[in-house]
């Protein structure tokens, strides 16, 4: 198992998902609190889809794949994209903020979670253009 997860909450459960492409296995996928069904997703990227081809340089494809990966992770926890209440979106360049918002609307419809785009240039792999972490709540 790759990566490191430090847990301070004894009621949390660290989980690795199996659906994401192998290169994304460096990151913690989901942390679920059993009591209140709060699901934390982190380290979701989309530079490699299920078929293994590279999406390097294609922001739209990476963004869509990232949302698909989050959707699959949430489904494993018994949640849906609609349960996502907030997300932090790390972008390789601020010029992608508006496009990310448009693509987010494709995935979520008009009821999008609160989100904050943050620009960063030091992703774990040079092909990554977007990374998302978020919190979902299941009633």
The whole-model pTM stands at: 0.78
Percent of the chain whose pLDDT exceeds 90? 63
Percent of the chain whose pLDDT exceeds 70? 74
Question: What whole-number distance in Å separates Cα of residue 54 and Cα of residue 31?
Answer: 28
Angle between helix 97-108 and 59-76 (nearest 10): 40
pLDDT band of residue 77 (cuts 50, 70, 90) is confident
pLDDT band of residue 78 (cuts 50, 70, 90) is confident
Strand partners, 136: 39, 84
Q: Is the dihedral of CA 67, 113, 44, 38 positive or negative?
A: negative
CA distances from 35 to 38, 87, 119 (A): 8, 21, 34
Q: In CATH, which of 3.40.718.10, 3.50.50.60, 3.30.1330.40, 3.40.50.150 is domain 13-137?
A: 3.30.1330.40
């Amino acid at each position: 198992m790759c990566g490191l997860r430090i847990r301070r909450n004894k009621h949390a459960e660290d989980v690795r998902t199996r659906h994401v492409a192998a290169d994304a296995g460096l990151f913690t996928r989901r942390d679920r609190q059993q009591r209140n069904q709060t699901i934390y997703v982190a380290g979701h990227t989309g530079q490699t889809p299920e078929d293994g081809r590279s999406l390097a340089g294609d922001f739209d494809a990476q963004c869509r794949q990232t949302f698909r990966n989050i959707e699959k992770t949430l489904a494993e926890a018994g949640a849906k994209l609609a349960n996502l209440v907030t997300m932090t979106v790390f972008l390789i360049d601020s010029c992608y903020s508006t496009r990310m918002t448009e693509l987010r609307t494709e995935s979520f419809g008009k009821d999008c979670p609160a989100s904050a785009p943050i620009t960063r240039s030091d992703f774990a792999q040079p092909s990554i253009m977007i990374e998302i972490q978020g919190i979902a709540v299941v009633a």
